[in-house]
Amino acid sequence: MALTDEQRSEIEAVRAAPHQTVRPTVPAMEALLFEPFPLLDHGFIRVVDYMGGDSAVVQAARVSYGKGTKKTSEDAGLIRYLMRHRHSTPFEMCEIKFHVKLPLFVARQWIRHRMASVNEYSARYSVLDKEFYLPDATQIAAQSKVNNQGRGETLSPETAAEVLSILQRDALQCYGDYERMLDPEGLGVARELARINLTLNAYTQWYWKIDLHNLMHFLALRSDPHAQYEIRVYAQKMIEILKAWVPHTAQAFEEYRLGAYSFSAGMLKVLRRRLAGESVTQETSGLTKREWTEMQAVLEG
Q: Could you say whether residue 179 binds its own copies (CB under 8 A)?
A: no
Q: Which of 86, 169, 191, 222 is catalytic?
A: 222
Map the footprint of its own copies across residues 129-148, applying CB under 8 A: 133, 135, 139-144, 148
Q: Cα-Cα-Cα-Cα dihedral of 145, 150, 152, 154, to 10°?
A: 150
Q: Could you say whether residue 23 binds its own copies (CB under 8 A)?
A: yes
**Residue 180 CB, nearest distance to its own copies (Å)?**
7
Residues 6+ apart with CB under 8 A from 56: 24, 93, 94
Contact 78, 70 (CB under 8 A): no
Q: Could you say whether residue 284 binds its own copies (CB under 8 A)?
A: no
- Given 103, 215, 246, 250, the residue binding its own copies (CB under 8 A): 103
**Residue 288 CB, nearest distance to its own copies (Å)?**
8
Could you confirm whether 272 is annotated as catalytic? no
Q: Could you say whether residue 41 binds its own copies (CB under 8 A)?
A: no
User: What is the amino acid identity at position 95?
Assistant: E
Nearer to its own copies by Cβ, of 130 and 180: the residue is 180
Is 195 labelled a binding residue?
A: yes
User: What is the amino acid identity at position 187?
Assistant: L
Walk across the sheet containing 37-39 and list its strands: 37-39, 43-51, 95-103, 203-211, 117-120
Task: Tell me the three state secondary structure of residue 216.
Answer: helix
Cα→Cα distances 90→60, 62, 82, 98, Å? 5, 9, 8, 21
Cα separation, 49 vs 33, in Å, equals: 7
Q: Could you say whether residue 211 binds its own copies (CB under 8 A)?
A: yes
Nearer to its own copies by Cβ, of 13 and 283: the residue is 13
Contact 68, 43 (CB under 8 A): no
Is 123 labelled a binding residue?
A: yes
Q: Could you say whether residue 157 binds its own copies (CB under 8 A)?
A: no
Cα separation, 54 vs 91, in Å, equals: 9
Nearer to its own copies by Cβ, of 186 and 236: the residue is 186
- Given 45, 98, 195, 234, the residue binding its own copies (CB under 8 A): 195
253 bridge partner residues:
none
Task: Tell me the three state secondary structure of residue 51.
Answer: strand
Q: Could you say whether residue 69 binds its own copies (CB under 8 A)?
A: no
Nearer to its own copies by Cβ, of 213 and 237: the residue is 213
Q: Could you say whether residue 112 binds its own copies (CB under 8 A)?
A: yes
Q: Could you say whether residue 270 binds its own copies (CB under 8 A)?
A: no
Question: Binding site, residues?
Answer: 89, 109-114, 120-124, 195, 211-213, 217, 222
Catalytic residues: 222
